[in-house]
Amino acid sequence: MKQPVRERAEFQRFLCFVRNDAPVGLFPDRFNRWRFHVAAPTRSANSRHLPMEAQTLLRRCIDAASIDVDDPTDPENLIGFFQHFRPDGSGLAGVFEDVPGGDEVHDRLDQLFACAGNDRREDGRRDVYFLVRRPPPISPTEIQRLASQWLSGLRHLADAVQNETVKAQLDSAPKLRVLEGKAPKNPKHEIDQSDLFRAFAKDVPQLTDEIRPVSEIAQALKPAFYFISCDAMLRDYLMWPIHARALPHLPEDPFSAYFNLWRHGIKYRILRNDTIDFYIPRPPVRVPVQPMSTPR
C-alpha cells in the first residue's frame, strides 16, 4: 500500500536531509558518526566499480521501494530503504532471494519488522528509525548470559579477521553490569573516552569490513541496513548470513545474542575502561485518567 502523499513528502524530506543536502553541522549525531567512521569504506566506492550482480540488486531494491533517483546503482540511494516497507515488511519478498544467504536475511528482517516495524507513537508522531517501543521483559541473569555470548562472538570474529585491537580489549575480560533505568549518553570528549569505548565505537563496527574475501554485495547494502536504526551491530546481525559464507568455521553467529538484547530494549554503555553496563528500560508509568465529575 502506498503512503499518503503528505507522508511520502515528509519521508522524502528526511531522505534528502540524510543524503548530504543539509550542512554538516545540522546532521544528527548518529548520522555524523556513520558518515565519518562507519561508512567510510562504502562512501569511497564508486558505483561504476561495483560488479554487475551488485548493481542489479541495487536496481531491484530501488524498484521495490519505488524510489526516484538519478543513479539506482549508488548504495547511498538506499539510505532509508527499509522504512518504505513498514509496518510489516510486505513488498520485500524476493528482493534478496538470489543473494547468497538471502533467504536467511529475509528471515531476520521478518524478526525486525515483528518487533519494531510499527513506526506509530502513542502521541501520533512517527519514528524515523526502527525502535522497540514495547520490549518484552527479560531477567538480569538472561542479560548477563546474552552479553557474555555477544562478547564471545565478537572475540571469535576479531580473531578470524586478525583485528588485534578488538582482541586485546576483549581478552581483558571487561566486567558486565546490569542496571535499570535510562542509559546515559556516551562520552563525547576524547579525554573522557576509554580505550574500550573507542574499540567499540570504531573498530568493532568495522569487523565485517575486514572479512576476506570482500563481499561487494554486502558492502553495497551496508548503508541501507545501517540506517534501519543507526546501529552497526543490528546491521551486522541482519546481514550476517551474507558474511558467514566467508567464515564457515566460525563457531557461532557473533551478533545473534546482540539482537536478542536489542529486541528487549537493552542498551549498553562503556563509561569505564574495565566495565560494560547494560540498561534495562523501566516500563512507562501510566497515570489513570479520572472521569470528570458532573456538577450537581
If asked whether residues 51 and 175 sit together in one domain, one would say: no
Is 296 part of any domain? no
Domain range holding 82?
1-134+214-244
Half-sphere exposure of 25 (CA within 13 A, CB side): 0
If asked whether residues 147 and 92 sit together in one domain, one would say: no
Name the 3-class secondary structure at 35: helix
If asked whether residues 1 and 111 sit together in one domain, one would say: yes
Q: List the one residue out of 276, 245, 82 whose CA is nearest residue 267.
A: 276
The total of structural domains in the chain comes to 2
pLDDT tens figures, 33-92: 433 334 434 443 445 588 999 999 999 999 999 999 999 999 999 999 999 999 999 999
pLDDT tens figures, 76-122: 999 999 999 999 999 999 999 999 999 999 999 999 999 999 999 88
Domain boundary among 197, 229, 244: 244
Residues 6+ apart with CB under 8 A from 291: none
Of the two residues 282 and 129, the one the predictor is more confident about is 129
Terminal-to-terminal C-alpha distance of the chain: 51
If asked whether residues 236 and 253 sit together in one domain, one would say: no
C-alpha dist (Å) from residue 145 to 140, 152, 251: 9, 11, 17
If asked whether residues 68 and 167 sit together in one domain, one would say: no
Is 290 part of any domain? no
pTM assigned to the model: 0.83
Torsion angle defined by CA atoms of residues 37, 21, 73 and 246, in that order, rounded to the nearest 10 degrees = 20
If asked whether residues 109 and 129 sit together in one domain, one would say: yes
Please answer whether residues 72 and 62 qualify as being in contact, where contact means their C-beta atoms are separated by less than 8 angstroms: yes
